[in-house]
Structure 1
């Protein structure tokens, strides 16, 4: 969601461990020259930055510090090939996207479906909106895949 998170879902984002990640970059101006310089030095095959002083890699502990996301607990390593993604979306979001492909949903659908949260919303609607907000953060900028 392009706008800052609503105060109505702040507690849900905190409970899920995503509050800090939701507020990253708010109020800061990005430096396009710095971003371009980092992109030029990134080597995707090695997952490292190559600087004149040596190589620099990103490790999970640093990501945890930067994003404030919890990294303890059980790892999700299982591949789900034959899940009923429509039923999963309905259980979590109370709606089913028109197009689900191998567990992927379109970010545009997510933004259109969960565009605003009213002050008169119920707790269940707020929880669903918080879930959609987290999905958008993950698919939009935490683990974006433009392919």
Structure 2
């Protein structure tokens, strides 16, 4: 089980509206064999998993749907540019 976020960063997470992410995975058990299988099938060159059925990748949308993360605000699709 994961530890709660450090009190040093808890307020920063709350201010950024990202505190709920600190609780993802609590009480969740990972299957070491399944994790190992995915690690073995990951291809760094293409950022995809090569599975017996086909090639697949995990998108940010997949992560958002699986964890039920709230999505609000604008989407960042290019590198952020600093205001001069």
TM-score range (shorter-chain normalised) is 0.5 to 0.7
**TM alignment of 1:112-131, pairs within 5 A:** none
What is the rounded CA distance, in whole Å, between the counterparts of 2:49 and 2:73 in structure 1? Answer: 26
Give TM-score scaled by structure 2 length. Answer: 0.65
What are structure 2's unaligned runs of at least 5 residues? none
Give TM-score scaled by structure 1 length. Answer: 0.41
1 or 2 for the larger relative contact order (CA 8 Å, sep ≥6)?
A: 1
Structure 2 counterpart of 1:70: 71
Over the aligned positions, Cα root-mean-square deviation in angstroms equals: 3.1
**TM alignment of 1:16-95, pairs within 5 A:** 16-67=16-67, 68=69, 70=71, 72-73=73-74, 75=76, 77-78=79-80
What are structure 1's unaligned runs of at least 5 residues? 81-147
Larger radius of gyration: 1
More helix by share: 1
Paired residues of 1:41 and 1:50 also in contact (CA < 8 A): yes
What is the rounded CA distance, in whole Å, between the counterparts of 1:28 and 1:60 in structure 2? Answer: 20
